[in-house]
Amino acid sequence: MRASAGNVNCPPSRYEAEISIFGPGIGECIVIHLGKNAWMVVDSCLDRNTRIPIALQYLQALGVNAATDVKLFVITHWHDDHIEGASAILASCHNAKFVCSDALRCGEFVQFVSLYSQRGFIENSGVDEFNRIFEVLKSRRGYIRPELLEPGWAIADRRLLYYTKNDRPLNVEVYSLSPSDAAITLALREIGQLLIPKVKTPKRRAIAQRPNHVSVALWVIVGDLHVLLGSDLENHPDNRLGWQAVVLSRNRPRERALIIKVPHHGSSNAYCKEMWQEMVATNPIALLTPFASGVKPLPTETDIARISTHTPQIYCTGSPSGWRSPRRDSAVDKTIKEVVRTRRLVYGPMGHIRVRIPIKKGLDEPNIELFNGAQSL
Amino acid sequence: MPLIPEIDGSSIVVLGSFNPAIFHPLWFKINQLIRPEEADSAKLEVTHPAVSIFSLEWFKLQVEMERFVVETTDKANFGPISDLVLGTFSILDHTPVRALGMNRVMHFKMDSREKWHAFGHMIAPKDVWHGIMERPGLQSLTMEDPRDDPLGFTRVRIEPSKQVDPGIFIEVNNHYEIEDNNIQNMLNILKGSWKEVLLKSESIANHLIKKVE
Amino acid sequence: MMRDLATRFVAEQSKEVSEYFVDKDVKPIKEENVGQVSGNVLAISTEAPASLGLTAPPVVILPGPFKPRHRFKVLQQFEGTVLEISGDECRAHIRDLTRPGFVEEITFSIEEISESDRELAVLGAVFYWDIGYQDRIDGQRLRVSAIRFRRIPMWKEKDLVSSRREAESLSESLGWKR
């Protein structure tokens, strides 16, 4: 199967599933066509030129009415790179159920957001965005259907969306695979201990801690197509947490995913051999976003080699090694070179991988398109 | 390309009820709002029950019983003076405050005296003065744009520059009334609007100067 | 007598302060004494200032304008966030404030940080990084890189108390609770 680049603004047909993944270096967003012009969005990042959430920008370019046609909007966790622009998506998608991790359903998390966004004196993009999400949720009363007013909560083995063949020509189901009960218990404890600051400590930017116990991994079914979206879920020595908990669950979908959004940018911390062996088809289409920050940007060469033992079809929205810094005034560049030891740009072009599969009568051959710097690894 | 002023300063003014005696470099040092070395090398200009004035390399502070002012002439310190005010009034959080001013002052050098005159003619046409004045010239022009929410105004003052020749002086005063004399409201406005106000002031100045570019 | 103080600092500064302190017989502050940046103040009216009936000491000679010893011509500004301090090295994200849209990850020696700022350099701390030319009072021009950590006061008990109260009310209204 070869990847190509067609017309990015051409919408999918009614019986064509689409998985589009966007990633500019830090951040990711997934837009999925569930058939018959029903859409879902997972996470959010901004087009750095227009400052518009890439999901809204893309849907508009396709001629999709986000207000009516987006049925589900999932935030997999609160970290900056998955949430920028989420409030604008929520405000625009009047017909969408908003879902986030059940591990965030606690007063301490709301207090954390309130503290850092309103009393912190420092801009915190993730926390400020969540504060705006709260504002939108508050203001939606009056124009949103009652069943959509309250957030939905993602927890292991919960079905978030379900259309039967009677509702539409294809069955559509979306499940959350995580967080597990044990992960929620751990996260609730950590939110109180790690996120709420202590009195008489300095105000700083809220930096997300790893590993990530609250992240929502998803399983999407459209007709015969199964898709595993791994979010940033990582492994844990305790098999009641992380990927082991997902694999060991007796209630998870038993089919195998043809398409996998590789968890946590392909990192070794999120690699679970059992997940690949038991939940993913042979030679699946593996999609990744890079993470251009950190001592070692992800995916590393080793990560790519590891994934390639499972499939030769690996696509990434951008260059894993980041991009070269822009040129500035010569005196500035000279000074920067004298001061810094290492330097790289962490945001590049908004790479876009699009997979479309006709699904009316079973599964047809997928068509993979790469836009704006997305590449086959 | 935005025009770059020859001289570029900003100030934050808070109106309320203050005790000038508190505002000594040592107080700022103890509260870790400035570096210890800065406090030790501060230039104390006036220490008086009714007014306190001192300066560091990067800002000058003047406090009277009803007014608190911090100013800088260095663009690199626009952020730090806002931090200083946020920090000060987070600590002195019972201070009754009634108004906040976020101000920018710019002196632009004009390419030529002709352009300088052209600017003056553009901003204050002289036709109406002919017949009653021999050689009318602009000394000062102030325009005000009121604001409803939050209550206040933006005031722009334009004059020939006395620092740069031939130059235009533009001052933008962004005034906010503070609801309920509540200091948290003032801090929220400062935190939320300082950067925006600075950018808006710059764009006002650019908009005017570019009319004759 | 209530005076309507303005929140603009520049031109009215001298007039109003002079009303506070300058005795009727003392000359008003001259134009060139007003701030360097604001040196556009017109000559203060030669009318005698109104007496405010203060019993403070008769005269305070006001200082001259704010004149830093050195002028700084900014070429580039960044805002940085510390991601990690490891040994003598700091890893940070820097956001370009001069050409917005670029974010870079850098590492640099903590020697680049002023000694009295080093204790502030912890995970999540925010700093300004300015690059430009400093024109010293002796005429010497230097190319300068200046890192300054933001000094923001500590979290207070009342921050936690008020945010907890707000969180309870918000959780209730949003249905954001177990």
Interchain contact, A121 vs B188, CB within 8 Å: no
Give the length of chain B: 213
pLDDT value at position A65? 97
* CA dist., res. C133 & res. C140, Å (int): 10
**Chain A interface test: which of C91, C105, C134, C178 (most A C-beta within 10 Å):** C105
For chain B, count helices (H), then strands (E): 5, 9
Q: Which residue is listed with tokens 């950018």?
A: B199
Residue numbers of A between 179 and 208 with CB closer than 8 Å to C: 196-207
Residue numbers of C between 12 and 41 with CB closer than 8 Å to B: 13, 17, 20-21, 31, 35-40
3-state secondary structure of C128: strand
Cβ atoms within 10 Å, residue C53: 6
* CA dist., res. C91 & res. C84, Å (int): 5
How far is the CA of A328 from the CAs of A5, A300, B195, in angstroms?
Answer: 33, 29, 23
| Chain C residues with CB-CB distance to B101 below 8 A | 6-9
Interchain contact, C66 vs B176, CB within 8 Å: no
**Chain A interface test: which of B83, B85, B190, B191 (most A C-beta within 10 Å):** B191
| Chain C residues with CB-CB distance to B17 below 8 A | none
| Chain A residues with CB-CB distance to C154 below 8 A | 199-203
**Residue A252, pLDDT above cutoff 90:** yes
| Chain A residues with CB-CB distance to C175 below 8 A | 149-151
ipTM computed for the complex: 0.89
pLDDT value at position A184? 92
Q: What is the DSSP letter of A151?
A: P
Interchain contact B188–A (C-beta under 8 A) = yes
Which uninterrupted H or E stretch holds A54? Answer: helix A54-62
DSSP A294-350: SSS-BS-HHHHHHHHTT-S-EEESS-TT-BPPPP--HHHHHHHHHHEEEEEES----
Interchain contact B92–C (C-beta under 8 A) = no
Q: Which residue of C has its CA nearest to A46?
A: C101
**Residue C27, pLDDT above cutoff 70:** no
Cα atoms in the 13 Å half-sphere on the side-chain side of A34: 25
Exposed / middle / buried, residue C54 (Cβ in 10 Å: 0-12, 13-18, 19+): exposed
Q: Grade residue C17 by pLDDT with cuts at 50, 70 and 90.
A: very low
User: pLDDT per residue over A292-304, tens digit each?
Assistant: 988 889 999 999 9
B158-165 long-range contacts, Cβ below 8 Å, gap at least 24? B158/B123, B158/B208, B159/C40, B160/B116, B160/B120, B160/C40, B161/B107, B161/B108, B161/C40, B162/C31, B162/C39, B162/C40, B163/B6, B163/B7, B163/B107, B163/C36, B163/C37, B163/C39, B163/C40, B164/B6, B164/B7, B164/B107, B164/B108, B164/B109
| Chain A residues with CB-CB distance to C157 below 8 A | 199
Q: Which residue is listed with tokens 């730090």?
A: B80
**Residue C3, pLDDT above cutoff 80:** no
**Residue A339, pLDDT above cutoff 50:** yes
Tokens of B117: 């005159």
Our CA-based measurement puts residue C95 at a distance from the nearest CA of chain A, in whole angstroms, of: 10
Q: Which residue is listed with tokens 């998803």?
A: A218
Residue numbers of A between 87 and 116 with CB closer than 8 Å to C: 105-108, 110-111, 113-115
User: pLDDT per residue over B70-90, tens digit each?
Assistant: 999 999 999 999 999 999 999
User: pLDDT per residue over A47-80, tens digit each?
Assistant: 988 999 999 999 999 999 999 999 999 999 888 8
User: pLDDT per residue over C29-49, tens digit each?
Assistant: 333 333 334 444 333 234 333
* CA dist., res. B34 & res. A196, Å (int): 26
> Measured on CA atoms in the order C71, C75, C79, C84, is the torsion positive or negative?
negative
User: pLDDT per residue over B10-63, tens digit each?
Assistant: 999 999 999 999 999 999 999 999 999 999 999 999 888 999 999 999 999 999
* CA dist., res. C63 & res. C18, Å (int): 11
How far is the CA of A44 from the CAs of A49, A56, A130, A372, C139, in angstroms?
Answer: 15, 9, 12, 18, 52
Percent of chain B at pLDDT exceeding 70: 100
Which uninterrupted H or E stretch holds B146? Answer: strand B141-148
pLDDT value at position C38? 43
- How many interchain CB pairs under 8 A, A with B? 6
Strands A70-75 and B43-48 turn out to be unpaired
* CA dist., res. A15 & res. A34, Å (int): 9
3-state secondary structure of B95: coil
> Measured on CA atoms in the order A70, A74, A75, A81, is the torsion positive or negative?
negative
* Amino acid letter, A249: S
Q: Which residue of B has its CA nearest to A203?
A: B87
User: pLDDT per residue over A17-54, tens digit each?
Assistant: 999 999 999 999 999 999 999 999 999 999 988 999 99
Find all residues with CB under 8 Å of A375, minimum gap 6, and list them. A315, A316, A318, A319, A351
Whether cis (ω within 30° of 0) applies to the bond prior to A299 is yes
Residue numbers of A between 293 and 322 with CB closer than 8 Å to C: 293-295, 322
Tokens of B50: 């009714």
pLDDT value at position A331? 95
Q: Which of C52, C62, C99, C59 is nearest to C78 (CA)?
A: C99
Which uninterrupted H or E stretch holds C148? Answer: strand C141-149
Mean pLDDT over C153-161 rounds to 89
Cβ atoms within 10 Å, residue C52: 11
3-state secondary structure of B82: helix
Q: Which residue is listed with tokens 């740009």?
A: A345
Interchain contact, C60 vs B139, CB within 8 Å: no
pLDDT value at position B104? 94
**Chain A interface test: which of C76, C96, C176 (most A C-beta within 10 Å):** C176
Which uninterrupted H or E stretch holds B55? Answer: strand B51-55
User: pLDDT per residue over C88-136, tens digit each?
Assistant: 999 999 999 998 889 999 999 999 999 999 999 999 999 999 999 999 9
**Residue A120, pLDDT above cutoff 80:** yes
Whether cis (ω within 30° of 0) applies to the bond prior to A179 is yes
- How many interchain CB pairs under 8 A, B with C? 141
Residue A331 backbone zone (phi > 0: left; psi -120 to 50: alpha; other: beta): alpha
More confident residue, B114 or C56: B114
Our CA-based measurement puts residue B43 at a distance from the nearest CA of chain C, in whole angstroms, of: 11
Interchain contact A335–B (C-beta under 8 A) = no
pLDDT value at position C30? 35
* CA dist., res. A346 & res. A62, Å (int): 28
Residue numbers of A between 339 and 368 with CB closer than 8 Å to C: 339-347
Q: Which of A107-116, A354-363, C2-11 has the lowest mean pLDDT?
A: C2-11
Domain positions in chain B = 101-212
Our CA-based measurement puts residue C121 at a distance from the nearest CA of chain A, in whole angstroms, of: 10
CA angle C169, C170, C171 (to 5 degrees): 95
pLDDT value at position A181? 93
Interchain contact, A331 vs C174, CB within 8 Å: no
pLDDT value at position A168? 61
pLDDT value at position C32? 35
DSSP A156-182: TTEEEEEE-TTTSSS-EEEEE----HH
Interchain contact, A339 vs C103, CB within 8 Å: no
CA angle B59, B62, B65 (to 5 degrees): 155
Q: What is the DSSP letter of C157?
A: H
User: pLDDT per residue over A256-284, tens digit each?
Assistant: 999 999 999 999 999 999 999 999 999 99
B82-102 core/surface letters (b: 16 or more CB in 10 A; e: else): bbbbbbbbbbbeebebbbbbb
* CA dist., res. A265 & res. A225, Å (int): 23
Backbone angles phi, psi at B27, to 5 degrees: -60, -45
pLDDT value at position A361? 75
Chains sharing 3 or more CB pairs under 8 A with chain B: A, C
Q: What is the DSSP letter of C41?
A: P
| Chain B residues with CB-CB distance to A118 below 8 A | 188
pLDDT value at position A211? 64
User: pLDDT per residue over A141-200, tens digit each?
Assistant: 778 888 888 899 999 999 999 877 666 667 899 999 999 999 999 888 888 887 888 998
* CA dist., res. C30 & res. C14, Å (int): 9
* CA dist., res. A60 & res. A238, Å (int): 44
Our CA-based measurement puts residue C12 at a distance from the nearest CA of chain B, in whole angstroms, of: 12
Q: Which residue is listed with tokens 């998390």?
A: A109
pLDDT value at position C57? 44
Interchain contact C8–B (C-beta under 8 A) = yes
* CA dist., res. C2 & res. B69, Å (int): 19
User: pLDDT per residue over B91-138, tens digit each?
Assistant: 999 999 999 999 999 999 999 999 999 999 999 998 899 899 998 889
User: pLDDT per residue over B160-191, tens digit each?
Assistant: 999 889 999 999 999 999 989 899 999 999 99
Q: What is the DSSP letter of C166?
A: H
